[in-house]
């Protein structure tokens, strides 16, 4: 089935450093999402992105977070500077209104550990 690729799968950084998480969405998808999950618990919505713009963001999407997808390349989540509470697994997802099911397809996640 359709694949969403995420790079890196795991990153360990020191608090205060910058991190960029990369996502290669399904090729014909138009909507992109980032979710945060801690310890296999709730999948918490961070942000969604359509047509080059942030459509909606949650309270978890702090000022230190930013997203972009320059010229159809990777959809990225940047955190600068990182904090201890940013340690989590970050899932990228994509969907398309053209897909008959309209479902979200998730990547395998990027596990971020902030020391």
Burial (CB < 10 A; 0-12, 13-18, 19+), residue 94, is: buried
**Strand 5-7 to 10-13 pairing:** unpaired
8-state DSSP, 72? G
User: Shortest gap between Cβ of 62 and other proteins (angstroms)?
Assistant: 19
46-85 mask for other proteins (x: CB under 8 A)? --x-x----xx-----------------------------
CB-based contacts of 15, cutoff 8 Å, min separation 6: 81, 82, 83, 84, 114, 115
Contact call for residue 101 and other proteins (CB under 8 A): yes
**Closest-CA residue to 75 (of 97, 101, 53, 58):** 53
Contact call for residue 32 and other proteins (CB under 8 A): no
Contact call for residue 2 and other proteins (CB under 8 A): no
**Based on CB atoms, which residue is closest to other proteins, 64 or 103?**
103
The single residue among 13, 45, 65, 78 that binds other proteins, judged by CB under 8 A, is 45
The single residue among 25, 75, 95, 112 that binds other proteins, judged by CB under 8 A, is 95
Task: Report the C-alpha gap between 12 and 64 in whole angstroms.
Answer: 18
* Contacting residues toward other proteins, per CB under 8 A: 31, 33, 35, 40-45, 48, 50, 55-56, 91, 93, 95-97, 99, 101-104, 106-109
């Amino acid at each position: 089935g359709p694949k969403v690729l995420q790079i890196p799968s795991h990153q360990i950084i020191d608090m205060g450093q910058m991190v960029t998480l990369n996502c290669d969405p399904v090729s014909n998808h138009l909507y992109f999402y980032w979710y945060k999950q801690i310890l296999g618990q709730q999948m918490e919505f961070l942000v969604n992105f359509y047509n080059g713009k942030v459509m909606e963001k949650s309270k978890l999407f702090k000022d230190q977070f930013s997203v972009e997808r320059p010229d159809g390349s990777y959809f990225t989540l940047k955190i600068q500077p990182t904090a201890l509470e940013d340690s989590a697994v970050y899932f990228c997802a994509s969907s398309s209104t053209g897909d008959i099911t309209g479902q979200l397809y998730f990547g395998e996640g990027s596990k971020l550990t902030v020391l």
